[in-house]
Amino acid sequence: MKQRILTGVLAGAGFLAVLAAGGYAFHTLALVMALIGFDELVRMSGTKRSDWPAVAGYLGVIALVWPNRGGDFVLPGDAANWLWLIMLLIMAGMVFGNNRTPIDRSAALLFGVLYIGAGFHYMAFSRWAENGFLISLLIFACIWLTDAGAYFVGSWIGKHKLIPKISPNKTVEGAVGGLVLSVFAATAFAFLAPGTVDPRWAPLIGAAIGILSQIGDLIQSAYKRHYGVKDSGRILPGHGGVLDRCDSWLIVFPFVWMFLERWL
């Protein structure tokens, strides 16, 4: 437990320092975390790093998250076109590698490129935005309080299992507790940091983040259960891997910038 707490404090402090610095420092951190996260997925899927579909996947993540001023995609044109090209390269590697990386693993790698690449891209994009530090801090605060609320409320009064076949320890009561704290965090930002979020829409944004954050957590639980692993990696002693710590981020940040941007 001491190791878990120490790791959490040091990693959290370092992350917040780089978030405050912003610019290329934070964007580069996002790229490094994205590559580590994709590497964790490659290893969980049983794919060798040197197999061409995996190599194509690493290149795809780099293309989506490469540090570019303003947070825009570094590749010109429609991102969907590039994702299709990455798919082609992964599938071609499946063929020319004599099916050493079969269709299910190749599909998992393509899923990883989109899931991880887009997630960290939008996390970096958030920091580049106008008022980006406070907006990023708002989103992280909602995510972290959702996680804390779900854990503590669930431990305290949780009786009804949420989705026991996916995550046996999560409860309906915990989910509601996390949602309430996320709404509280967004509403607090609206009044304590004027201009960060429209007060009229703050509760809705907090609720959306609270729901999506828990879905992101459950997605991570689902595919770890599929692969039969407890943690995605071991880079953070006591906390697992990058994907273990960033599961909610990868869902929340893209959703916020695709659907909730107008209310920030």
Q: Verify that 69 and 181 share a domain, yes or no.
A: no
Which residues are within 8 A (CB) of 17 and not within 5 positions of it... i.e. 6 or more apart? none
Angle 104-105-110 from CA coordinates, rounded to 5°: 100
**Pair 161, 123 in one domain:** no
Nearest-angstrom CA–CA distance, 40 and 236: 13
Give yes or no: residues 145 and 175 share one domain: yes
pLDDT in tens, 59-107: 999 999 999 888 888 877 677 788 899 999 999 988 988 888 899 999 9
Asked whether residue 112 falls in the same domain as residue 181, the answer is no
**E strand map for 121-186:** 161-163, 167-171
For residue 236, list its beta bridge partners. 240
Token duo for residue 71: 């947070």
Tell me what the mean pLDDT of segment 42-57 comes to.
93
Burial of 264 (0-12, 13-18, 19+ CB in 10 A): buried
- Which residues partner with 171 through β-bridges? 161
Shared domain check, 254 and 145:
yes
The pLDDT tens digits for 183-192 are: 999 999 999 9
* 68 and 19 part of one domain: yes
Q: Which pLDDT score, from 0 to 100, does residue 23 have?
A: 96
Whose tokens are 């710590």? That residue is: 245
| Long-range contacts of residues 198-201, Cβ cutoff 8 Å, at least 24 apart | 198/263, 198/264, 201/263
Give CA–CA dist 120/26, Å, rounded. 11
pLDDT at residue number 187: 96
DSSP codes joined into one string, 222-251: HHHHHHT-S-S--SBTTTB-HHHHHHHHHH
Residue 72, SS3 per DSSP:
coil
Looking at the structure, do residues 239 and 145 belong to the same domain, yes or no?
yes
Q: What is the pLDDT of residues 222-235, one digit of tens each?
A: 989 989 898 888 88
User: Is a pLDDT exceeding 70 seen at residue 5?
Assistant: no
- Domain span including residue 109: 1-128
211 and 88 in a common domain:
no
Are 89 and 145 in a shared domain? no
Q: pTM for the complete prediction?
A: 0.93
If asked whether residues 209 and 96 sit together in one domain, one would say no
Q: Which of 92, 107, 128 is the last residue of a domain?
A: 128
Same domain, 139 and 47: no
pLDDT on residue 9: 80
